[in-house]
Amino acid sequence: MDIGIIVFPGSNCDADTSHAVREVLGRSAYYVWHEERTLEGLDAVILPGGFSYGDYLRAGAIAATSPSVRALRPYIAGGGLVLGICNGFQILLEAGLLPGAMLLNACSEFRCQFVHLRAERVDTPFTCALRPGQVLRLPIAHAEGRYYVDPITGAALAARGQVVFRYCDAQGAVTPEANPNGALDGIAGVATPSGAVLGMMPHPERASEDLLGSADGRLIFSSLDRWASGRASGVTADLEPAEAR
């Protein structure tokens, strides 16, 4: 399995993500410079965390105009899998590849801490190694992570199963106290209806080994492996076009 990691000016989790893919998952990782115009041949593409273009204008807004992000649309239409982590999630939102927008954290502060999140959906390429409702312990590190959609769209998202992760307490209860940034309904991760495109604010690549305080993030990467072997054995996913903003 070949996994591409798009590198923007200001990405800073690209090496961590590459480490998780290569050393933890044991698969091939390739850095893809953001000016690349095609993503063909990659089994999955990861948009890593960081501060692309210094978060100028809005987090992810400038990166969303880059050739590699424009290449995501045909890549996804052709069955490609895409994971956006933190700034990568913000880029997917700004590119209109996932619905919603990010606002500054309700506390007005950058939050860097471990959080718990509950898997709301385990039939996606990035969560198929999880148990339904499984609670993961992963770190967040962001200032603009307050997920927002208008209430009508929010209800539709939940109805279509597009909410993949919610912030929760250690027991899995979604409470205001467990929500680190004021995200709508505690939303920490959102996907397209098919699950082929996932954005999440917490960092699985920073918590894939016990040495780092949690190895729960490993399950996100091993899900990809499990998904790929399912495909190889003839089980294919129903891929739908990405949601337009």
Residues in the chain: 245
What lies within 8 Å, CB to CB, of 47 at 6+ separation is 6, 69, 82, 83, 84, 85, 87, 88, 89, 91, 92
Instruction: Indicate the helix (H) or strand (E) that contains 111.
Output: strand 111-119
Contacts (CB under 8 A) with other proteins, residues 136-155: 146, 148-150
Q: Considering only residues 48, 80, 100, 154, which one is a binding residue for other proteins as defined by CB under 8 A?
A: 100
Site string for other proteins, 41-80 (x = CB under 8 A): ----------------xx--x---x---------------
**CB-based burial, 66-88: b 16+ in 10 Å, e otherwise:** bebbebbbebbeeebbbbbbbbb
Q: For residues 36 and 151, give the distance between their C-alpha atoms in angstroms, rounded to a whole number.
A: 37
Catalytic, 203? Answer: yes
Task: Give yes or no for residue 101 binding other proteins (CB under 8 A).
Answer: yes
Task: Give yes or no for residue 111 binding other proteins (CB under 8 A).
Answer: no
**Which lies closer to other proteins via its Cβ, residue 73 or residue 231?**
73
Cα–Cα distance list, 239 to 52, 77, 78, 81 (Å)? 28, 8, 9, 10
Q: For residues 13 and 203, give the distance between their C-alpha atoms in angstroms, rounded to a whole number.
A: 9
Place of tokens 């692309």: 52
For residues 98 and 47, is the Cβ–Cβ distance under 8 A? no
Residue in 120, 144, 205, 243 annotated catalytic: 205
**At 229, phi and psi to the nearest 5?**
-70, -30
State the nearest-atom distance from the C-beta of 245 to other proteins, in Å.
Answer: 7
State the nearest-atom distance from the C-beta of 87 to other proteins, in Å.
Answer: 15
Instruction: Indicate the helix (H) or strand (E) that contains 148.
Output: strand 146-148
Residue in 13, 86, 128, 168 annotated catalytic: 86
Task: Give yes or no for residue 245 binding other proteins (CB under 8 A).
Answer: yes
Contacts (CB under 8 A) with other proteins, residues 204-243: none
State the nearest-atom distance from the C-beta of 211 to other proteins, in Å.
Answer: 35
Total residues contacting other proteins by CB under 8 A comes to: 19
Task: Give yes or no for residue 104 binding other proteins (CB under 8 A).
Answer: yes
Catalytic, 13? Answer: no
Task: Give yes or no for residue 182 binding other proteins (CB under 8 A).
Answer: yes
Of the candidates 130, 136, 186, the residue with the CA atom closest to the CA atom of residue 157? 186
Q: Considering only residues 37, 40, 41, 108, which one is a binding residue for other proteins as defined by CB under 8 A?
A: 108
Q: What residues are annotated to the active site?
A: 86, 203, 205
Q: Which residues bind other proteins (CB under 8 A)?
A: 57-58, 61, 65, 94, 100-101, 103-108, 146, 148-150, 182, 245
